[in-house]
């Protein structure tokens, strides 16, 4: 199958509420991940696979996508944009972009999934099986937290099952789909539609050939702070692939224009954004430091996200925390176990331990 004859549709309309306060000022797919907008990593994989035409289905902070990616030429792509006026779900979002399609094969991506799946191999599988619809299914060690999608010996999907304590399969829906163009016309238009709960089961019941492309590739839903931090670290360390990062891999990634003082320790897939300043004696372990943040001497930041322009005072301790853009955390403060500080909040020098929203 010629990838240049395939349309890519990327759904990026969600508000990212689980990642607040970071998503107060930015759409989730635009958050810096390994120092680049998260969506850049997916678009670079699409371009590397040879797909040329991409449609972004946007809604929340829609203008930021076109401001960043323009016509897509810098990535070797042709990008168009379709804006949802109201939430339409995954199925409604796909139906909303149909007028922009150019080809008979459409590859759909959820814009908040970090994946290492081989796009060319999935396209080849769709072609060889003569499927009408192919779903990427990834094997996970504990499928109880997900609905599962069993397949038969020929790879045809047998059912879409809800979460259960005793799942019959370790295969879960990984959020990438290949549709034949005529199948898309069966999605209801003009209302909110879920492909997972409504469209897929209906197609299966109607006898449409639905197949699974099953692998054990890297996969992570980046919707929670914990997964966002881990996904960024995995990109830095090379566990998750991204052509956008080139060959830069290691325990840390420091972007151009950042300043790291002697004696600072950066490990665990830490990323330091442009213009950020890291003071002497600082320890960053699995930290995501956005552009322009300032971490002062002796502070420890573990598995935490520090927003753009935020300041962390001397000898502070942050563990599993999120600090919003422009927040100011005083000396010796401790923010632990999921504490979230909203943009612009100032916490004076203290020594107090926080573990909730501030």
Strand partners, 161: 148
Q: What percent of the chain is helix, strand and coil (3-state, nearest 5)?
A: 25, 30, 45
Structure confidence at residue 295 as a pLDDT band (50, 70, 90): very high
| The pairing of beta strand 219-221 with beta strand 113-115 | antiparallel
Both 131 and 17 in one domain: the answer is yes
CB 137 within 8 A of CB 153: no
Both 213 and 305 in one domain: the answer is no
Q: In this predicted structure, what is the pLDDT of residue 111? A: 86
Average pLDDT over residues 296-321: 95
Both 105 and 19 in one domain: the answer is yes
Tokens matching residue 325: 């853009």
Tens of pLDDT, residue by residue over 128-180, are 999 999 999 998 888 787 878 888 988 898 888 877 777 778 888 898 999 99
Tokens matching residue 213: 């492309």
Both 336 and 278 in one domain: the answer is yes
Both 72 and 170 in one domain: the answer is yes
| Predicted model pTM | 0.90
Both 53 and 161 in one domain: the answer is yes
CB 277 within 8 A of CB 297: no
* Domain annotation covers residue 233: no
End-to-end C-alpha distance for the chain, whole angstroms? 52
**CA–CA separation, 171 and 141 (whole Å):** 9
Residue 251: CB atoms within 10 A of its CB come to 15
Structure confidence at residue 358 as a pLDDT band (50, 70, 90): low
Q: In this predicted structure, what is the pLDDT of residue 308? A: 92
CB 311 within 8 A of CB 330: no
Q: Which residue has the higher pLDDT, 120 or 170?
A: 120
Residue 182: CB atoms within 10 A of its CB come to 10
Residue 253: CB atoms within 10 A of its CB come to 22
CATH of the domain at 264: 2.160.10.10
1-15, 122-136, 260-274, 289-303: which has the minimum mean pLDDT? 1-15
Tell me the HSE value of 106 on the side-chain side, using a 13 A CA sphere.
23
Tally the domains of the chain: 2
Q: In this predicted structure, what is the pLDDT of residue 286? A: 95
Tens of pLDDT, residue by residue over 64-81, are 888 899 999 999 999 999
**CA–CA separation, 14 and 28 (whole Å):** 8
Both 55 and 192 in one domain: the answer is yes
* Domain annotation covers residue 103: yes
**CA–CA separation, 228 and 304 (whole Å):** 10
Q: In this predicted structure, what is the pLDDT of residue 266? A: 97
Both 79 and 176 in one domain: the answer is yes
pLDDT of residue 15 exceeding 80: no
**CA–CA separation, 77 and 4 (whole Å):** 10
* Domain annotation covers residue 188: yes
* Domain annotation covers residue 42: yes
146-150, 321-325, 342-346: which has the minimum mean pLDDT? 146-150
pLDDT of residue 285 exceeding 70: yes
Residue 269: CB atoms within 10 A of its CB come to 29
* Domain-ending residue, one of 203, 223, 243: 223
Both 32 and 154 in one domain: the answer is yes
* Domain annotation covers residue 17: yes
Nearest alpha-carbon partner for 89 in 194, 196, 199:
194
**CA–CA separation, 310 and 307 (whole Å):** 6
Average pLDDT over residues 264-276: 95
CATH of the domain at 184: 3.90.550.10
* Domain annotation covers residue 236: no
Q: In this predicted structure, what is the pLDDT of residue 31? A: 87
Average pLDDT over residues 85-94: 79
**Domain assignment of residue 167, given as a range:** 3-223
Q: In this predicted structure, what is the pLDDT of residue 130? A: 93
**CA–CA separation, 104 and 4 (whole Å):** 11
Average pLDDT over residues 204-209: 89
* Domain annotation covers residue 245: no
* Domain annotation covers residue 242: no
pLDDT of residue 354 exceeding 60: no
Q: Give 74's DSSP letter.
A: G
Both 182 and 41 in one domain: the answer is yes
Tens of pLDDT, residue by residue over 214-235, are 998 899 988 888 999 999 999 9
Q: What is the mean pLDDT of the chain?
A: 88
Q: In this predicted structure, what is the pLDDT of residue 66? A: 87
Q: What is the signed CA dihedral for 41, 46, 52, 56, rounded to 10 degrees? A: -60
Tokens matching residue 37: 């907008």
């Amino acid at each position: 199958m010629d990838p240049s004859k395939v349309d890519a549709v990327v759904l990026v309309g969600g508000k990212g509420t689980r990642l607040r306060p970071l998503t107060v000022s930015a759409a989730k797919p635009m958050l810096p991940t390994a120092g680049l907008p998260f969506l850049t990593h997916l678009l670079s994989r699409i371009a590397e696979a040879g797909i040329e035409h991409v449609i972004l289905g946007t809604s929340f902070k829609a203008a930021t996508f076109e401001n960043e990616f323009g016509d897509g030429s810098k990535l070797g792509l042709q990008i168009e944009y379709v804006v949802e006026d109201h939430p339409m779900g995954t199925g409604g979002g796909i139906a909303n972009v149909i007028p922009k399609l150019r080809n008979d094969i459409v590859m759909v991506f959820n814009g908040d999934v970090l994946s290492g799946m081989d796009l060319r191999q999935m396209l080849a599988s769709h072609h060889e099986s003569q499927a009408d619809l192919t779903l990427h299914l990834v094997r996970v060690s504990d499928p109880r937290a997900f609905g599962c999608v069993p397949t038969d010996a020929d790879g045809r999907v047998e059912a879409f099952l809800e979460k259960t304590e005793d799942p019959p399969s370790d295969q879960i829906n990984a959020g990438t789909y290949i549709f034949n163009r005529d199948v898309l016309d069966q999605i209801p238009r003009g209302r909110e539609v879920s492909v997972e709960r409504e469209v897929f089961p209906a197609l299966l019941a109607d006898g449409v050939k639905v197949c699974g492309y099953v692998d054990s590739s890297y996969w992570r839903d980046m919707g929670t702070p914990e997964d966002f931090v881990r996904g960024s670290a995995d990109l830095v360390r090379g566990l998750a692939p991204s052509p956008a990062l080139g060959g830069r891999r290691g325990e840390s990634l420091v972007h151009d224009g950042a300043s790291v003082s002697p004696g600072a320790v950066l490990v665990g897939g830490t990323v330091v954004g442009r213009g950020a300043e890291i003071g002497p004696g600082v320890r960053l372990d699995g930290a995501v430091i956005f552009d322009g943040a300032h971490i002062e001497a002796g502070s420890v930041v573990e598995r935490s996200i520090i927003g753009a322009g935020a300041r962390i005072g001397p000898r502070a301790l942050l563990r599993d925390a999120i600090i919003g853009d422009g927040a100011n955390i005083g000396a010796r403060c401790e923010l632990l176990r999921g504490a979230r500080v909203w943009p612009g909040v100032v916490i004076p020098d203290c020594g107090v331990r926080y573990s909730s929203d501030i």
